[in-house]
Amino acid sequence: MPSPNEVESAVIARLSRARGDHSRRVAETASRLASLHGLDSSGAVLAGWLHDWCRELPRMELLQRAEGFGLVRQGQHAAISTLHGPLAARVLPDRWPDLPDHVLQAIDRHTTGAPGMTRFDCLIYVSDLIEPGRTFDGVEELRAVAERDLAQACLQGMEQGIADLMRRGKLIESRTIDARNDLLLRLRGEVL
């Protein structure tokens, strides 16, 4: 695995000050929650630092590079920014070939979620939402749930995200709906 210091320096050099600070807080939040829940804390630090690696690419470049990897689905043009997770998971191995698969998968899934979210995927998804710089309504409750149950916090975060998109008249990606339904059924113990 790459060293955390090397990854931190690369992120700080690449992203704006504000996004670099956000990435640091996600890494710290994910590391702490990983220890609390018995997950891979070193991987959590790397995923936290790297999750927004492609977040500041110009819109057209993001779209073109994502198209090159076959990541753009029909009707997605209104939600181009969500491609920054899947694209980062494709390009990061060029720079760090030994990044573990679970770290790359969590980076891939941090924007929209996906069916079959693992606890590590949930850890990164939730840490991005609740890092100390976040101030939206309900964030305190989400932080409290994340201390007890990462999958439950992930489900709640996704549902709040979907509700927020609906309120604002935005499109919702089918992958997010699938992710939410899958997580809901698994948390209820129902077979899909």
Binding region for Fe ion (CB under 5 A) out of 45-53, 71-79, 117-125, 147-155: 45-53
Cα 86 from chain centroid?
10
Nearest CB to Fe ion, comparing residues 26 and 183: 26
Give, in order, the Cα–Cα distances in Å from 147 to each of 37, 107, 150: 8, 21, 7
Nearest approach in angstroms of CB 180 to Fe ion is 18
Nearest CB to Fe ion, comparing residues 168 and 188: 168
CB 87 within 8 A of CB 110: no
Binding region for Fe ion (CB under 5 A) out of 8-16, 62-70, 121-129, 134-142: 121-129
Nearest CB to Fe ion, comparing residues 11 and 39: 11
Give the count of residues interacting with Fe ion (CB under 5 A). 2
Query: Does 128 help bind Fe ion (rule: CB under 5 A)?
Result: yes
Binding region for Fe ion (CB under 5 A) out of 68-76, 92-100, 128-136, 179-187: 128-136
Nearest CB to Fe ion, comparing residues 87 and 151: 87
Query: Does 52 help bind Fe ion (rule: CB under 5 A)?
Result: yes
Nearest approach in angstroms of CB 136 to Fe ion is 13
CB 180 within 8 A of CB 113: yes
Nearest approach in angstroms of CB 189 to Fe ion is 31
Query: Does 121 help bind Fe ion (rule: CB under 5 A)?
Result: no
Nearest approach in angstroms of CB 192 to Fe ion is 27
Binding region for Fe ion (CB under 5 A) out of 30-38, 92-100, 127-135, 152-160: 127-135
Residues lying near Fe ion in the complex (CB under 5 A) are found at 52, 128
